[in-house]
Amino acid sequence: MQEFATIQAQDPDVYEIMAGERTRQRDGIELIPSENYTSPAVLEAMGSILTNKYSEGYPGKRYYGGQEYIDKIENLAKRRAKQLFGAEHVNVQPYSGSPANIAVFMALLEPGDTLMGMKLDQGGHLTHGLGVNFSGKYFNVASYGVRQDSGRIDMDEVRDIALAQRPKLIISGATAYPRQFDFEAFQSIADEVGAMTMADISHISGLVVGGVHPTPFPFTDIVTTTTHKTLRGPRSAIIMCKKQYGKAIDKAVFPGLQGGPHDHITAAKAVAFGEAMQPSFASYAAQIVSNARALAAELIKHGFDLVSGGTDNHLVLVDLTNKGIIGKDAEACLDKAGLTVNKNSVPFDTRSPFSPSGVRLGTPAATTRGMKETEMAHIARWISEAIDNQTDDTKLGAIHDEVRELCAGFPVPAI
């Protein structure tokens, strides 16, 4: 493992841990939909000398000297993001997705204002109004969800809630919703009630720029996204918005919530955006969706119950009730089989979020490795066999051997 040579020599304890994670990634299949593998170029940028610089402020208006090259890399990242998404204004400094959402709320809302977002237990995110999160503590929350009979958002119900609650901000976006969002319909409802709109496209941004999911622009006022997941960049985030909100967003990010940006991560974002501009990225995004649909179809053949009956994007949400296993136990046995998933609540779940009824699967990482529909059939079969043999460690180990053999033909980038 030449890439860890310096760490190996200097700090064997850290090396051993990193080596173990390297082996885990190499010999297993990552099916958590929020995870992916970056390119070697993105990794190089994240580990570069740009981490040595401190750069409070914005290009051309910094509080420290020596910013000539930092300004260039931040401006390049902003230009590329604008081009990729068709955004009027971009801030590339947010550290991560939740801080990006906090910045939007700080810029546009006052404590006690009403925001409207998707319920966490039906697919939404913590920052979209969960009671124990800052978004639920400092704002009045009006939540929408999905229909029990279809597992899909009912836009007529969203409109009824908005008319009754008159939110100041309506949020579209989710972390566990396997269908597409109608951003134009959300904007139409917002226009009717005098609300602003925000789309959190953290999960689907790579699909958006790849042309396989509708874009929130030009309808949505503010768009946030992480830069990893389907976008395949570093663990960070950006905020995009219509020009009229730009100054307020920038002020909320700095000095409102953050000090100096992480310049090495800004460089990695620029690299990732450049990669997403290539024609091959559109093919990658299309394959993510094709793989997810193939995985969903194969799981149905094996008797699994899928929320909403399938998927239109990169993820599949599985209700395991009919399989007689809970999500936590399924996650554990699949780990032993070399298949990494996450336990997840399903809509109208009667179980605790700490021990929910489902698991969440996704195809971005496997697709990055080059896996296609044929491999999705193998994965579905292994998932079924592992769950059928959840307490048989010998059988789970044998499945992992098969997984390891398949993985050998699909290397992880930079490993």
pLDDT in tens, 357-407: 999 999 999 999 999 999 999 999 999 999 999 999 999 999 999 999 999
Under DSSP, is residue 25 helix (H, G, I), strand (E, B) or coil?
helix
Catalytic residue among 3, 35, 44, 56: 56
Catalytic residue among 78, 168, 179, 229: 229
Q: Is the peptide bond prior to 218 cis by the omega test (within 30 degrees of 0)?
A: yes
Cβ distance 403 to 339 under 8 Å? yes
Cβ distance 352 to 340 under 8 Å? no
pLDDT in tens, 225-263: 999 999 999 999 999 999 999 999 999 999 999 999 999
Active site annotation includes 54:
yes
Total Cβ atoms within 10 A of residue 235: 15
Counting runs of H as helices and runs of E as strands, what totals does the chain give? 16, 15
Active site annotation includes 68:
no
pLDDT at 2: 60
Rounded CA separation 295/340 (Å)? 15
The DSSP result for 389-409, as a single string, is TTT-HHHHHHHHHHHHHHHTT
Catalytic residue among 15, 54, 95, 138: 54
Quick one: how far is CA 332 from the chain centroid?
22
Under DSSP, is residue 31 helix (H, G, I), strand (E, B) or coil?
coil
Active site annotation includes 175:
no
CA angle 182/109/259 to nearest 5° reads 105
* 44-276 classified as CATH 3.20.10.10: no
pLDDT in tens, 114-166: 999 999 999 999 999 999 999 999 999 999 999 999 999 999 999 999 999 99
Active site annotation includes 235:
yes
pLDDT at 3: 73
Q: Nearest to residue 398, comparing CAs of 327, 343, 333, 340? A: 333
Write out the CATH class of domain 10-33+281-407.
alpha beta
- Where do we find the tokens 């402020």? 57
Bridge-partner residues for 342, per DSSP? 360
Tokens of 230: 């389907």
Rounded CA separation 366/370 (Å)? 7
Rounded CA separation 273/233 (Å)? 8
Rounded CA separation 291/272 (Å)? 22
pLDDT at 369: 98
Active site annotation includes 166:
no
Q: Nearest to residue 222, comparing CAs of 143, 73, 79, 115? A: 115
Residues 6 or more apart in contact with residue 256 via CB below 8 angstroms: 103, 106, 107
What average pLDDT does the segment 213-225 reach? 97
Catalytic residue among 226, 230, 340, 368: 226
Res. 192: pLDDT tops 90: yes
In the chain, domain spans:
10-33+281-407, 44-276
Res. 282: pLDDT tops 50: yes
pLDDT band at 1 (very low <50, low <70, confident <90, very high): very low
